[in-house]
């Protein structure tokens, strides 16, 4: 279970403001004072934005491809949306269970404002169940089971400004399940000149994705594997809707990066990596960065060793050989696979060690040696 807020979190929460207005939401729950601990017995409830009513008081969620049909008093698979007498409500709007000021490289985004701070937040819950989830203590629990603070969108954006973070990042758990919170925070951030990025599994219906994409500076999608059986057996989700989301994001013009967590023997074969790289090149283009990251045993998948470096390096080589221009390795601090290299002249443009940018040579988004434009959100 996640513990209470850290000193840094408390400071950030305090910076969010000390206003103590109490308001009563549309669905009975009271909203607590800003920054205050949320009462698990009285979660603030707000009508969800993407659902439809069915006969006999049931509802159908239209947020993620699961399309949960939910009876009165029940919740969807995400555990954060509840049918209250025919009205579907989200229980995590403004309910932040995690808040950290992280380097953007930690998300990881390697082509988005290198070295910048992203005020990163999460609400409890997830719409899939990866057996290898690194953040299962918040993603696989319901909101009343995870300590959280009341931090509505405008205050969250204001907290980012006070923390000198030019970016907000919805991350850690699964932003799809708190999509209204993401949307409203991105709007609030935009009003004060900040940008919002999202780290997601991409398992979302097209309409809510398209609705929020224009508000986002970048999206990183965790592509769990390139095989449906893996999604079925280890994710309890589906690959096809994720691929559709990747295409939708790319077509929208919002910056996209992809992360693939390589699990030894399960999704790291040369053939699968080649298929994945080929699909990315064909459908998204060779400029989309792909990060292959190292797995560490956790949650329900503790019988596997960490991903061997040889497997990561093989994926790195295969993806490059298939024509992807920006292929990275993650969770291997100091490896050259962390660096951004000009695909034309081979100059090292950004030198990274772990989440730290050691040197950045880009000039106006171009290689200083050959002047090639490097795609990304650089300023």
Partner 1 sequence: MTRKFTRRELGALVGTGIALGPRALHGAAPAVGAGGTVGVAPLAAPAGGGALDPTAARAALERALVAATGKPTAARAVSALFSPSDTVGIKLNCLGGPISPRRELVEALAALLREAGIPGQRIVVFERASRELARVRYPIRKNGGDYLCHGVDNDYDAEPSTSGQIGSCFARLVSTTCTALVGFGVVKDHDLAGVSASLKNWYGVIHNPNKYHDNHCDPFVADVVNHPFVRGKLRLTVLDGVNAQCHGGPGYRPDAVWPLGLVVASTDPVAADAWAWRAIDAERVRRGMPTLEAAGRAPRFVATAARYGLGVGDPAAIREARG
State the CB neighbour count (10 A cutoff) for residue 161. 16
Comparison of 59 and 104: residue with beta carbon closer to partner 1 = 59
Comparison of 74 and 247: residue with beta carbon closer to partner 1 = 74
User: What is the nearest approach in angstroms of partner 1 to the Cβ of residue 54?
Assistant: 11
Comparison of 41 and 193: residue with beta carbon closer to partner 1 = 41
- Spatial distance between the Cα atoms of 228 and 246, rounded to a whole number of angstroms: 16
User: What is the nearest approach in angstroms of partner 1 to the Cβ of residue 130?
Assistant: 11
User: What is the nearest approach in angstroms of partner 1 to the Cβ of residue 1?
Assistant: 7
Comparison of 72 and 275: residue with beta carbon closer to partner 1 = 72
User: What is the nearest approach in angstroms of partner 1 to the Cβ of residue 83?
Assistant: 8
44 touches 34 (CB < 8 A): no
> Could you tell me if residue 190 is left (phi over 0), alpha (psi between -120 and 50 degrees) or otherwise beta?
alpha
Task: For 64-113, give the DSSP string.
Answer: STT--EE-TT-B-TTSSEEEETTEEEES-TTEESEEEEEEGGGTT-SSBS
Query: 324 exposed, middle or buried (CB, 10 Å; 0-12, 13-18, 19+)?
Result: buried
User: What is the nearest approach in angstroms of partner 1 to the Cβ of residue 6?
Assistant: 20
Comparison of 75 and 111: residue with beta carbon closer to partner 1 = 75
User: What is the nearest approach in angstroms of partner 1 to the Cβ of residue 75?
Assistant: 5
349 touches 358 (CB < 8 A): no
- Spatial distance between the Cα atoms of 157 and 196, rounded to a whole number of angstroms: 9
User: What is the nearest approach in angstroms of partner 1 to the Cβ of residue 235?
Assistant: 12
Name the site residues for partner 1 (rule: CB under 8 A): 1, 40-41, 56-58, 68, 71-79, 83, 129, 131, 136, 140-142, 144-145, 236, 299-300
Comparison of 141 and 150: residue with beta carbon closer to partner 1 = 141
- Spatial distance between the Cα atoms of 168 and 197, rounded to a whole number of angstroms: 6
- Spatial distance between the Cα atoms of 138 and 122, rounded to a whole number of angstroms: 9
Comparison of 68 and 169: residue with beta carbon closer to partner 1 = 68
User: What is the nearest approach in angstroms of partner 1 to the Cβ of residue 21?
Assistant: 25
Comparison of 283 and 302: residue with beta carbon closer to partner 1 = 302
User: What is the nearest approach in angstroms of partner 1 to the Cβ of residue 215?
Assistant: 28
**3-class state of residue 196 by DSSP:** strand
Comparison of 56 and 193: residue with beta carbon closer to partner 1 = 56
Q: Between vectors from CA 196 to CA 195 and to CA 200, what angle results, nearest 5°?
A: 155
Task: For residue 132, give both structure tokens.
Answer: 């290898």
User: What is the nearest approach in angstroms of partner 1 to the Cβ of residue 71?
Assistant: 3
Task: For 232-295, give the DSSP string.
Answer: IIIISS-HHHHHHHHHHHHHHT-EEEEEEEE-TTTT--HHHHHHHHHHHHHHT-TTS-EEEEE-
130 touches 234 (CB < 8 A): yes
Cα–Cα nearest to 13, from 192, 158, 147: 158
Please list, in sequence order, all residues whose beta carbon lies within 8 angstroms of the beta carbon of residue 217, skipping any fewer than 6 positions away. Answer: 112, 167, 195, 196, 197, 254, 255, 377
Comparison of 1 and 21: residue with beta carbon closer to partner 1 = 1
């Amino acid at each position: 279970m996640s513990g209470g807020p850290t000193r840094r979190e408390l400071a950030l929460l305090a910076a969010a403001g000390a206003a103590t207005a109490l308001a009563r939401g549309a669905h009975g729950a009271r909203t607590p004072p800003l920054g205050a601990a949320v009462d698990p017995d009285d979660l603030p409830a707000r009508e969800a934005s993407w659902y439809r009513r069915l006969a006999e008081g049931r509802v159908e969620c239209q947020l993620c491809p699961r399309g949960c049909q939910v009876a009165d008093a029940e919740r969807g698979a995400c555990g954060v949306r509840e049918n209250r007498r025919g009205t579907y409500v989200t229980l995590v709007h403004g309910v932040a269970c995690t808040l950290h000021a992280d380097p953007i490289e930690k998300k990881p985004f390697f082509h988005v404002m290198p070295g910048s701070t992203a005020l990163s937040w999460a609400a409890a819950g997830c719409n899939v169940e990866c057996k290898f989830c690194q953040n299962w203590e918040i993603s696989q629990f319901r909101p009343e089971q995870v300590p959280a603070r009341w931090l509505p969108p405008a205050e969250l954006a204001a907290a980012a400004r006070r923390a000198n973070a030019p970016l907000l990042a919805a991350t850690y758990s699964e932003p799809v399940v708190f999509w209204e919170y993401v949307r409203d925070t991105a709007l609030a951030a935009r009003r004060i000149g900040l940008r919002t990025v999202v780290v997601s599994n991409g398992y979302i219906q097209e309409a809510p994705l398209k609705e929020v994409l224009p508000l986002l500076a970048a999206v990183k999608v965790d592509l769990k594997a390139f095989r449906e059986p893996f999604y079925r057996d280890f994710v309890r989700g589906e690959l096809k809707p994720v691929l559709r989301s990747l295409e939708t994001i790319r077509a929208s013009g919002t910056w996209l990066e992809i992360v693939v967590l390589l699990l030894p023997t399960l999704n790291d074969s040369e053939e699968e990596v080649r298929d994945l790289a080929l699909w990315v090149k064909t459908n998204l283009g060779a400029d989309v960065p792909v990060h292959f990251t190292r797995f560490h045993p956790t949650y329900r998948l503790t019988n596997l060793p960490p991903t061997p470096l040889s497997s990561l390096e093989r994926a790195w080589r295969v993806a490059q050989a298939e024509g992807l221009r920006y292929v990275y390795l993650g969770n291997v601090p100091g490896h050259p696979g962390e660096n951004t290299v000009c695909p034309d002249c081979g100059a090292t443009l950004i030198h990274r060690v772990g989440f730290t940018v050691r040197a950045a040579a880009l000039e106006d988004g171009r290689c200083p040696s050959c002047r090639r434009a490097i795609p990304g959100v650089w300023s």
